[in-house]
Structure formats: structure tokens, C-alpha cells
Amino acid sequence: MNSNITTINQIATFKLLILDDITSCDEIQNSNLSKELKSLFLSIKDGKEKILNLLPDGSYTTVKTISTPSKFIPTSYLNESIPSNEIPLVKTCIKIETEQMEFVKNMKINHGLPQVLKTYLEQILGVYQNTIQQLSRMIKTSQILDVVY
């Protein structure tokens, strides 16, 4: 039971993190980045919205600040300095997405979680894996494209 409470706190933290990322992706549209990079962030926003829709509703949604007993809180786009050069920017995106994916993996390994919650977390992991694979491909090809979900 105690580990389920921790996971619910982590989900609340994660939800706030995703909302921060969506805000950041919106704010980036007003930056001096290239049209391709702005489009990339719009596609990343689509993925964040997909993740947000996969998160289960619950009493934790009233949480307004991040406060969790977790030892590790991943970086959000809001808290990261975004480079203006294409490849360093994509590498920063991969770093952020990988940290967030690890956070979700750590929530998923809780053995006391209901199966339905594990299923949601598995689907969220799929979104992250897809995002990271496509971002990694962008580095290899030196082409900035939208992430497709």
C-alpha cells in the first residue's frame, strides 16, 4: 500500500512535468528557432498530450506543486536550457525524454500496482521509445523532422 501511495505521488509529479513540457513547447513557438525546430517542438507537444491523455485520473490531480518522496525527478523542457543549434538541441531532447522514460519505468516496476495502471504506464513508455528512436534517427541523418505518433 505504501508503495502505491508513492507511485500516485510520482504520477502527480509526472503529470505536472508533462504540463510544464506542453507549456514549454508552446513558448518555443515564440522563440527565434528555425521553422523546422519549432515544428519539431509542436510534434513533441503532440506526444506529451498523448501521454497526458494516457495518465489515469484520480485525486492526485489536485496537486499544484511537485513534492514527491522520489529520489529522482526528471528534467522538463521548462527547466532546461534549449540550444539553438539543431544537433545539440536534438541531443538535449533525447536527454530529457530518456530521463522522463526512466522515471516512468521506475513507477512501472512497483509490484503492487493494479494491472490497468501498469498498462497505462506501458503505453506511455511506448510513446517515449518512439520519440527517442525518431530523435536519434535525426542525429544520424542530420535531418530535423517532426516526431510522428
Q: How many residues does the chain have?
A: 149
The list of the chain residues with pLDDT below 50 reads: 1, 59-70
- Structural domains of the chain sorted by starting position, each given as residue range(s) with its CATH number in brackets: 2-141 (1.20.1260.10)
pLDDT for res 64: 44
pLDDT for res 68: 43
pLDDT for res 69: 46
